[in-house]
Amino acid sequence: MKKMAILTLTEGGLKLGLKLKNQYPDAQLYTMEKYVTQGAQAIKPSLNLMVEKLFQTFDVLCFIMATGIVVRVIAPYIKDKRVDPAVLVMDEKGQYIISLLSGHLGNGNYWAEKIGKDINGTPVITTSSDTNGIVAIDTFASHNHCAIKDMKKAKDLTVLLLEGKTIGVINKEKHNILLKKPYIFIDNEERTDEYPEIEGYVYISKQGPKEMNKPFVWLIPKDIVVGIGCKKGKTKEEIEKVLKASFEKIKLPYESIKKLATVSIKEEELGLQQLARALKVPLEIHSIEDIKKVEDQFQGSEFVKKTIGVKSVSEPCGYLGSCFGKCILPVQKIAGITISLWKEDEV
């Protein structure tokens, strides 16, 4: 599940927080120090400073407190809907679950509806497309595991949808997508003139369209798994430099990263953790035992094997993380960092 933090300020809020914690065991629950009990941690050193940290490390923040408090406390940390966490606000009786921030790309609306269903509360969703029963472009992208190249163009197409216009979908990558009206599938971009009812296009590809005769938005499938290893202490910036160079080498958009995959002994490597958070992708961990099952398929180093128990990290982890997919860039070894790129096998 996505990383969720639950924050409460009152004894009544803590009761609901514990109920949510029981429903979602992986969630972290925070409350005032005087109310700390088993399963809950103290809000330290202050709510504002705690939220600043959680904004960078969690995918979903669920506040059980007044909406006004939440608005004031999150305001300094809001950046962009592509990177902000989902923010939910609940009353301490659990009657209402408000999707306050990142309803689409952050899946805030989804979580409001899910929590409402799980605790018999009412989700409060105010995004125009949802209240009109329309799948907005950013929701379409999120549901179909794609990145949006240009948010302004996405907004322009969502306006067309709200006006009742039909949007054509051109899927150059044969990427598995969920499609329903008012989206229609176009099987050949050279024949768009056969669809006069279409007022705009969703173009799904690793490479953007050269020219379109109507408004369009470019969506990039997020289906590339990065197998990654590094020496101890490598910084986010050092790793990211090698990663970007690897994508440039095979002319793939950086936005197509779905996850990073590494070995268990690198799970606490700060540079990898920070990079995964910056990319808003999971850092998937593979055990030594699982790597041993496939390591003979790849070249490696006996020195590495003596050090960590397996002879290579990047390629076996990429292979496992991509569900035994296709290697599109063999391992790159640069400055103590190893990176290989894998096209995820769609299962």
Query: Each residue of 32-44: pLDDT tens digit?
Result: 999 999 999 999 9
Range of the domain at 59: 4-126
What's the per-residue H, E or C state across 158-226? HHHHHCCCEEEEEECCCCCCCCCCCEEEECCHHHHHHCCCEEEEEEECCCCCCCCCCCEEEEEECCEEE
Based on the domain organization, do 209 and 256 belong to the same domain? Answer: no
Based on the domain organization, do 231 and 287 belong to the same domain? Answer: yes
CATH number where 213 lies? 3.40.1390.40
Query: Each residue of 8-22: pLDDT tens digit?
Result: 999 999 999 999 999
Look-up of token digits 């923010």: 87
Based on the domain organization, do 179 and 198 belong to the same domain? Answer: yes
Residue 151 lies in a domain: yes
CATH number where 298 lies? 3.30.420.180
Residue 131, pLDDT score: 84
Residue 346, pLDDT score: 62
DSSP assignment letter at 133: T
Based on the domain organization, do 155 and 230 belong to the same domain? Answer: no
Cα-based angle 269, 272, 277 (whole degrees, multiple of 5): 125
Cα-based angle 287, 293, 297 (whole degrees, multiple of 5): 115
Residue 132 lies in a domain: no
Based on the domain organization, do 64 and 149 belong to the same domain? Answer: no
Based on the domain organization, do 208 and 243 belong to the same domain? Answer: no
DSSP assignment letter at 144: T
Residue 259, pLDDT score: 97
End of a domain among 221, 240, 266? Answer: 221
Residue 318 lies in a domain: yes
Based on the domain organization, do 16 and 95 belong to the same domain? Answer: yes
Based on the domain organization, do 210 and 237 belong to the same domain? Answer: no
End of a domain among 221, 236, 262? Answer: 221
Residue 41 lies in a domain: yes
Based on the domain organization, do 285 and 313 belong to the same domain? Answer: yes
Based on the domain organization, do 228 and 335 belong to the same domain? Answer: yes
Residue 294 lies in a domain: yes
Let me know: does 178 contact 168? Beta carbons within 8 Å.
Answer: no
Long-range contacts of 125-130 (CB under 8 A, 24+ apart): 125/99, 126/99, 127/99, 127/103, 128/162, 129/158, 129/161, 129/162, 130/103
Q: Could you give the number of structural domains in the chain?
A: 3
Based on the domain organization, do 183 and 281 belong to the same domain? Answer: no
End of a domain among 196, 221, 246? Answer: 221
Asked which of 122-136, 140-154, 167-181, 239-253 is least confident by mean pLDDT, the reply is 167-181
Based on the domain organization, do 228 and 337 belong to the same domain? Answer: yes
Residue 172 lies in a domain: yes
Task: Give the type of residue at 278.
Answer: A
Highest mean pLDDT among 101-110, 138-147, 236-245 belongs to: 236-245
Give the span between the Cα atoms of 50 and 28, in whole angstroms: 13
Asked if pLDDT for residue 2 goes beyond 70, the answer is no
CATH number where 111 lies? 3.40.50.11220
Residue 45: is the preceding peptide bond cis (ω within 30°)? yes
Query: Each residue of 219-276: pLDDT tens digit?
Result: 999 999 999 999 999 999 999 999 999 999 999 999 999 999 999 999 999 999 999 9
Residue 131 lies in a domain: no
DSSP 258-277: EEEEEEGGGTT-HHHHHHHH
Residue 1, pLDDT score: 46
Asked if pLDDT for residue 307 goes beyond 60, the answer is yes
